[in-house]
Amino acid sequence: MKGQVNLYYIISSLLLVFSSLCVAAVGLFQPSRTELLLGLLLFQLFCIVFSFYVSYRFLLLPLLHLKKTTSAVLASLDEQVPEADSTALLDRFQAIIDREYDMRAAFRQAELDALQSQINPHFLYNTLECIRGQAIVDGNRPIADMARALSEFFRYSISRATHLVTVEDELRNVSAYMKIQNYRFGEKYQVRISMDESDRPFILQCLLPRLTIQPIIENALLHGLHDSDREKEYLDISLELTDSRLILSVADHGAGMSQKQMDRLNTSMRDDTPHTGGSGEPQRRHSGIALQNINERIRLLFGRDYGLRVYSTLGMGCTVEIVLPIKRGAGQAHPGMAAAPRS
């Protein structure tokens, strides 16, 4: 429709210009040809009328229709929502804002899916299996183990079967990632996992978003423990159940961050605003991008009551706490239902 309107405007403009040139040429070179000059003037008048019609039909009428529709919508809102009670109208605006937020989050997920679809997983898996097989033939067991760990890590990371996975699957992916890192750094890092043994079977089957724990571990290695000169570094993963929530924390004992950095990061995750290091703050440590991405996915899936919070002391380490609702597969019963409730 837009192209058709533009075509009408171009035609009317060309006709108007052409008729004007003809009138000017006849008046200049053939002043005695009054019949021809009169005909050209009538043709020019037709072009002017045609231009006015196009402007009225495709410009003025749509504007009038828009004004009429807008007035009708405003009038209906005034009738439906009394002036004394604006709560309903505010709720409707809030619903529109929430829907826009969900659409933006879905768009980000679609971008991630599009990026993942560019990777041919079968080509990657087959190549890594070939490397592993050749390493076994050559008697190089460390290379074979690392190729297997890398294959498992990529298979898990780029899989698009579901957004929710079990805690057991997530911890298995962390194990594969740490094997790769320890091959690079000589078994420097060790992950320690703690949970109530009576809750272990249930906790391992709880659901959480795919790639929740591993990016936090990677963030700790890149920012918290990057400059460590200790021979051994520990990363502690703890999991705890309450009556309605799964609380998961990942702690390192590295560089940590200042109170100002921690407050800024927690505020940005709470308010869903981009995190910046701020002037005068070190940009190298805890950029917060991975943490905010995890927090945003959790809140999109489960609501704004859940997500991440960071606790840190400069020079002593950092703890990332993840609060999730208890989601589990069919057939799994909450162990707390048969016991005394926990706080």
**pLDDT(165) > 70:** yes
User: Which residue's entry shows tokens 């799964």?
Assistant: 246
The answer, yes or no, to whether residue 192 has pLDDT greater than 90, is yes
Which pLDDT band, with edges at 50, 70 and 90, does 63 fall under? confident
Q: Would the pLDDT of 80 be above 90?
A: no
| 286 pLDDT higher than 90 | no
Has residue 339 got a pLDDT over 50? no
Percent pLDDT > 70 in the chain is: 68
- According to DSSP H, which parts of 82-166 are helical? 87-117, 121-137, 141-157
Q: pLDDT band for position 279 (50/70/90)?
A: very low
Top-confidence residue, 184 or 203:
203
- If one compares 83 and 310, the residue with the highest pLDDT of the two is 310
Confidence tier at 343 by pLDDT (50, 70, 90)? very low
Residues in contact with 86: Cβ distance below 8 Å, sequence separation at least 6, in sequence order: none
Higher pLDDT, 197 or 121: 197
**Bigger pLDDT: 319 vs 60:** 319
- For 66, half-sphere exposure in the C-beta direction (CA atoms, 13 angstrom radius) is 6
pLDDT band, very low/low/confident/very high, at 42 (cuts 50, 70, 90): confident
Per the model's pLDDT, the better-predicted residue between 263 and 282 turns out to be 263
Between 265 and 52, whose confidence is greater? 265
Q: How many other C-beta atoms can be found within 10 angstroms of the C-beta atom of residue 256? A: 21
Q: What is the pLDDT of residue 187?
A: 86
pTM: 0.59
**Contact (CB, 8 A) for 47 and 15:** yes
Arithmetic mean of pLDDT, 5-14: 64
Element spanning 202, H or E: helix 200-204
Per the CB < 8 A criterion, the answer to whether 150 and 128 are in contact is: yes
Reply yes or no on whether the pLDDT at 238 is more than 90.
yes
Mean of pLDDT values over 308-321: 94
DSSP 304: T
Of 141-150, 219-228, 244-253, 328-337, the one with minimum mean pLDDT is: 328-337
Query: Over the chain, what is the mean pLDDT?
Result: 78
Distance CA 307, CA 245 (A): 11
Tens of pLDDT, residue by residue over 83-121, are: 545 566 667 767 777 777 777 777 676 666 655 555 566
- Average pLDDT on 271-296 reads 64
Q: Whose structure tokens read 């460390």?
A: 142
Share of the chain above pLDDT 90, in %: 30
**Token pair listed for 90:** 């505010």
